[in-house]
Structure formats: C-alpha cells, structure tokens
Amino acid sequence: MRIDLRSDTVTRPTTGMLETMLNAKVGDDVFNEDPTVIALEEKAAKLFGKQAGLFCPSGTMTNQIAVKVHTNPANEIICSRLAHVYNYEGGGMAFNSGVSIRMIEGNRGRFTAKDVLENINPTDDVHFPLTKLVTIENTCNKGGGCYWDIKDIKDIKEACDKYGLRLHLDGARLFNALEETGETPEEYGQLFDSVSICLSKGLGAPVGSLLLGTKDFIWEARRTRKLLGGAMRQAGYLAAAGIYAMDNHIERLKEDHQRAQQIGEMVEVLPYVEELLPIETNIVIFRLNDSISSADYLKALEEKGIIAVQMAPQLIRFVTHLDFTDEMLEKLPEILKNAI
Ligand SMILES: Cc1ncc(COP(=O)(O)O)c(C=O)c1O
C-alpha cells in the first residue's frame, strides 16, 4: 500500500463525483454557454455574498489574475514571507504584473494591521513604489495549515480601507479554516475585495479554482484569464466536479483534521523529531534533528511506502486528505518508528 501524504492535491475523483461529471451539461464557456460552469460560478459567488465568480484552471491562476487586476506595474503588494503567491507561483507576480513585494515576517504566515501599517509606503515621495494590495492566505500552507483570527483580518481590512488598498484572500484551503472556526463564507466575502478558493485541494476535485468579486472585477478577471490562456471550452465536466465537491466534501474536512491530530501525536514522540508545529487543520509540519537529512529521511520513508515532501531544510510536511484512510493511518506508527 502506498501512502501519499505529499499534499491534499493528490486525490482522485470519487465514483459519485465521476458520475456527476459524466452527466454534466456542457457548452463552450468562452462563449459563456456552459451551463455547469455558470452554475458553479453563481453557486460560489452566492455562498460568499459576492456579485460574480470565475472558474479557472488553478489556484495559481486565480491568485495571479487577482494581483494583475488589482495593481498596475511598479505598484507594491504586501504579503507574508511564507505566502504561496510569493514562494510557489514561479515569480508570477513579477512576470505577470510587474509588481514589487513587501514581505512581512509575521507568525506562521499571519500578520496584523500594525504590520500592514508599518509597510505601506508614503505616497508623497517619488522614491517609493505605490502600495496597492494586501494579500493574505487562510489557511497558511507553509505555516503548517494554521488559520487566522478573523478579528485580525477585520483590523487589516480597516487599515486597507483607510489607505485605499485592496485586500485579496488566497483561500486555497479556506474551508479547512471555516470547519474549525465555525465562521461563514459570507463573513469572509464581506472582508475581501477578491477571494480565491481551490476545489482541487481538500475538496477533492481533480481541477479548478474560483475567483470571486464584484461584477466589474470579475469582468476584468475574465479578460485576464483569456490573455493568460486560461479560458476553457467544455469546462462544465470539471465544474461539475467542483459543484459535487462543494456539496459533498466540505463537512468531511473535519475527518482530515482529526487524522492530522493523530499523526501529530505519533510524530511528536519520535526520537528524530526536534519540533512539531501546532496542528490546526490538515497539515503536519515537523523539524528533523541533525541525526538525519530530509533527503535521507524522505528516501527511507518512501522505501517503506510513505511519500511526503520537504518544506524547507529539515522541515517535513504531511498533509491528510480524502484518499488518506484509517487503514493507512493505522500503518503509520510502525513505519514512522522504524523509519531510521
Ligand atoms: C495556499 C495555496 N495557494 C494557492 C495554491 C495554488 O494552487 P494550484 O496548485 O491549483 O495552482 C496552492 C497550491 O498548493 C496553495 O497551497
């Protein structure tokens, strides 16, 4: 049995999801004629209390489109040093939008209104790029799946409003956060100018992310999606998977979180583990001590049937997901104990 803990993106569609996909009504979405894509976009927009939505191939694209539409070249954006949009999107913000990036050290990917205020450039001095956008990530992937205190986000929104900055949410795993906090998508919709959510992570769809915002914002986003080559034709088959995922796979995220907690209990007592980050959702990150390198550890695990990834030197990440079962969980203690 191969146990894949690299990411929650590795899941395969369930039988129910595949059946829904097969039965989807489709059309050419570039002509705005795919009823299933339209239904998904409207469903998500309504859930978040936004005017409109746009179905895109990936979370990278929804983030990149948001940055592009909110900014002009030579503007500056504020984000965490750990943000996906900065670390893992291939330098897309520089390439697509020509913006500079002000990084905040923060706390595992989270920061405060004070941090934002300290990093807004003065507008009356030509030396400085104009600060235009703040982007936050919830949950924070590189921070170990931690989620934000909504009060901090409200304070950041107030700071953004005061200084005329836009606020974008990389909500690739927002539903994981909401399952824990009990907050609603609508509360999040009210706080952000744009929201990106991923269907292909914890929700288990094979492809797809949604960008949500005002009608005008989404019209510009639609134009930008086209120029980036992301406008798809009979995308309704994929949108059907997204609708199925939203209807069936949100509440079950709790199971992934419980399994992550159980993995944490196993990991923290391992003699080769120096530190375990607090586990809040479906991501487990731990630091190996100097007795073994990440590369050797990952190789040893792979030989025993577990695959995982390194997040930084000596930092290993396990992510629980729809295809990670209790049967797999039961096998872990033995393998982890004897890995080295
Ligand atoms: C926080 C976060 N944002 C955005 C993305 C990008 O999503 P995609 O892989 O669909 O481009 C990811 C992917 O793992 C992510 O973890």
CATH number at residue 321: 3.90.1150.10
Which atom of ligand 1 approaches the CA of 60 most closely?
11
- Residue-wise pLDDT for 183-225, tens only, equals 999 999 999 999 999 999 999 999 999 999 999 999 999 999 9
| Same domain (yes/no): 196, 259 | no
Q: Residues with Cβ < 8 Å from 327, sequence gap 6 or more? A: 1
Burial label for 295, CB within 10 Å (0-12, 13-18, 19+), is exposed
| Same domain (yes/no): 183, 300 | no
> Residue 205, Cβ neighbours under 10 Å: how many?
24
| Same domain (yes/no): 137, 70 | yes
| Same domain (yes/no): 286, 207 | no
Q: What percent of the chain has pLDDT over 90?
A: 99
Q: Where are the beta strands (DSSP E) in 18-75?
A: 52-56
Q: Judge whether residue 246 has pLDDT over 90.
A: yes
The rounded distance, in Å, linking the Cα atoms of 191 and 338 is 47
Please tell me the distance between residue 308's alpha carbon and the centre of ligand 1 in angstroms. 17
From 7, 10, 60, 200, give the residue whose CB has the most ligand 1 atoms within 8 Å, as the site to mutate: 60
| Same domain (yes/no): 145, 83 | yes
> Residue 229, Cβ neighbours under 10 Å: how many?
9
* Residue 225 and residue 257 in contact, taking contact as beta carbons nearer than 8 Å: no
List, in sequence order, the alpha helices (H) in 131-230. Answer: 150-163, 174-181, 185-191, 215-227
Please tell me the distance between residue 84's alpha carbon and the centre of ligand 1 in angstroms. 7
Per the structure, the count of domains in the chain is 2
The rounded distance, in Å, linking the Cα atoms of 197 and 170 is 7
| Same domain (yes/no): 215, 324 | no
Which of 206, 226, 248 is the last residue in one of the domains?
A: 248
What is the distance, to the nearest Å, from the Cα of residue 136 to the centroid of all Cα atoms in its chain?
10
| Same domain (yes/no): 238, 261 | no
| Same domain (yes/no): 167, 291 | no
- Residue-wise pLDDT for 117-174, tens only, equals 999 999 999 999 999 999 999 999 999 999 999 999 999 999 999 999 999 999 999 9
* Residue 198 bridge partners (DSSP): 209
What lines the ligand 1 site, CB under 6 Å?
Answer: 9, 58-60, 63, 84, 137, 141, 170, 172, 198, 200, 209
Which of 248, 275, 301 is the last residue in one of the domains?
A: 248
| Same domain (yes/no): 193, 305 | no
Which atom of ligand 1 approaches the CA of 58 most closely?
10
Q: Judge whether residue 279 has pLDDT over 90.
A: yes
Q: Judge whether residue 55 has pLDDT over 90.
A: yes
* Residue 203 and residue 241 in contact, taking contact as beta carbons nearer than 8 Å: no
From 79, 135, 139, 141, give the residue whose CB has the most ligand 1 atoms within 8 Å, as the site to mutate: 141
**Residue whose C-alpha is closest to residue 199's, from 254, 144, 238, 145:** 238
Helix/strand/coil for 262: helix
| pLDDT at residue 234, as a whole number | 98
Which atom of ligand 1 approaches the CA of 173 most closely?
1
Query: Can you give the residue range of the structural domain that contains 311?
Result: 3-9+252-337
Give 140's DSSP letter: B
Please tell me the distance between residue 109's alpha carbon and the centre of ligand 1 in angstroms. 15
Q: Residues with Cβ < 8 Å from 172, sequence gap 6 or more? A: 59, 84, 137, 141, 196, 197, 198, 201, 209
Give 295's DSSP letter: H
Q: Judge whether residue 1 has pLDDT over 90.
A: no
Helix/strand/coil for 203: coil
pLDDT-derived band of residue 340, with 50, 70 and 90 as boundaries?
Answer: confident
Query: Mean pLDDT for the chain?
Result: 98
Which of 248, 264, 286 is the last residue in one of the domains?
A: 248
Cα-based angle 6, 202, 211 (whole degrees, multiple of 5)? 115
| pLDDT at residue 324, as a whole number | 98
| Same domain (yes/no): 34, 87 | yes
Token couple for 274: 């120096």
* Residue 329 and residue 262 in contact, taking contact as beta carbons nearer than 8 Å: yes
CATH classification at residue 184: 3.40.640.10
Please tell me the total number of residues recorded for the chain in this structure: 340
| Same domain (yes/no): 260, 117 | no
* Residue 126 and residue 84 in contact, taking contact as beta carbons nearer than 8 Å: no
**Which element (helix H / strand E) includes 171?**
strand 166-171
**Residue whose C-alpha is closest to residue 281's, from 183, 170, 179:** 179
Helix axes 15-22, 236-248, angle to 10 degrees: 140
| Same domain (yes/no): 269, 121 | no
Which atom of ligand 1 approaches the CA of 140 most closely?
1
Which atom of ligand 1 approaches the CA of 170 most closely?
3
Phi, psi of 259 (to 5 degrees): -65, -35
The rounded distance, in Å, linking the Cα atoms of 74 and 94 is 9
Please tell me the distance between residue 200's alpha carbon and the centre of ligand 1 in angstroms. 9
The rounded distance, in Å, linking the Cα atoms of 277 and 284 is 7
